[in-house]
Amino acid sequence: MQPKLIKLSPILLLLLLACQTSPRGQYAYQLPQTGDADLPAASLADVGLNTQLIEKVVNRIDRGKFGEVHSLLIYKDGKLVLEEYFEGHDYQWDAPKHHAELVQWTADRAHYAHSVSKSISSLLIGIAVAQGLIDSVQQSVFDYLPDYQYLNVGDKKYLTIEHLLSCTAGLQWAEWNAPLSSRKNDQVNMWFHPRGPVDYYLARPYIAVPGTLFNYCGGGIEVLGEILQNASGMTVQEFSNRYLFGPLGINSAQWAIIYPTGEVHTAGGLKISPRDMLKIGILMLNHGQWHGQQIVPAYWVDKSREPFLPAMDINISGEDLRHTGYSYTWWTKDIRIGGKWVHWFSANGWGGQQIIVLPEIESVIVLTGANYTRKVIQYKILRDYIFPAYDE
């Protein structure tokens, strides 16, 4: 006996398919299950956050209302109170939309941090200064670049480490003028330079007096990676493991992208899990201390949270986070939460990677995503749902 075939209407078929492809049903808040003694959990209600608003935004993220968001973590009053992961694409530069395979993101899966790498590179430089491996950020970059003295000509001697940290070197650079799939973008074109990123960047002509003009620039951060290695006698990975990742119990972090000429992509090549991104944020929230140990100098954290050029008002390319400042590779902003002004500083990366530190409300928020070819609208998540959840 042949089975009877049932003909479905097109509308019913679409509804069934939608149900099958939805990552999950209606979300209800769950207490994080961390299994990590450094990240004790508590409920949203325990720290006074509005559970309904958080449930609403998690449902909207899960349905793709903000493009591809892969994770959302909230840390408040010393506790991890939200940890949610979503389905989305891994990263591949030469794939359509820069999307590799579709995966379910989890707590243990490392994510490309992109320009969050810059902010972590800055912390490594701060540690090296504190150890005396680098004497001062006011030094010429060429003090630590013995193989590039042929570029130390004319006014290039005035280029300091601090200029690189603050993106105020004054060298010609175009990173926000073309997509990160085009060789018209200096960050991309640098990859193909036969003499490597340090040569590519330091050979650029001046367009402004160093220290006077902000121009977002990954090239300078690649130079900082070379300076760190020369000053310490260690690779970037070895130095990171010994002095930053190791003390924080971070095991996921790998400097995963290396230039064809051998340099570490310190401007965007770090892979790290969202939980370990959160630990970096907690370190900054605690003025550079971790379990009583001073990992990053407190004054470096202060430098990272206040804009280097106070009069700056930057609209970040490709993001809805507007009217920001820039410090030692960290973004700064003042916002209103719960009827009062709150200062934030954040590490931001292409596609929607963020570590947001909010000292006045004892909070760190982490987001990851893959919105590489569309506008990142994660500030809407914060402004319309998460920050109002604090207003109890």
Q: Is 177 exposed, middle or buried (0-12, 13-18, 19+ CB in 10 A)?
A: exposed
What is the pTM for the complete model shown? 0.93
Calpha distance 368→354 (Å, rounded): 6
Which position has the token pair 């990171």? 240
Look at residue 177 in the predicted model and tell me its pLDDT. Answer: 87
Taking 70 as the pLDDT cut, the residues of the chain under it are 1-24, 392
Structure confidence by residue, pLDDT tens digits, 183-202:
999 999 999 999 999 999 99
3-state secondary structure the chain: CCCCCCCCCHHHHHHHHHHHHCCCCCCCCCCCCCCCCCCCECCCHHHCCCHHHHHHHHHHHHCCECECEEEEEEEECCEEEEEEECEEEEECCCCHHHEEEEEECCCCCCEECCCHHHHHHHHHHHHHHHCCCCCCCCCEHHHHCHHHHHHCCHHHHHCEHHHHHCCCCCECCCCCCCCCCCCCCHHHHHHHCCCHHHHHHHCCCECCCCCCCCCCCCHHHHHHHHHHHHHHCCCHHHHHHHHHHCCCCCCCCEECCECCCCCECCCCCEEECHHHHHHHHHHHHCCCEECCEECCCHHHHHHHHCCCCCCCCECCCCECCCCEEECCCCEEEEEEECCEEEEEEEEEECCCEEEEEEHHHCEEEEEEECCCCCCECHHHHHHHHHHHHCCC
**Domain 110-272 part of CATH 3.40.50.1820:** no
Look at residue 35 in the predicted model and tell me its pLDDT. Answer: 83
Q: In the chain, where are the structural domains located?
A: 37-106+284-289+308-392, 110-272
Look at residue 339 in the predicted model and tell me its pLDDT. Answer: 84
Look at residue 389 in the predicted model and tell me its pLDDT. Answer: 97
Contacts of 381 (CB under 8 A, 6+ apart): 57, 61, 66, 69, 72, 367
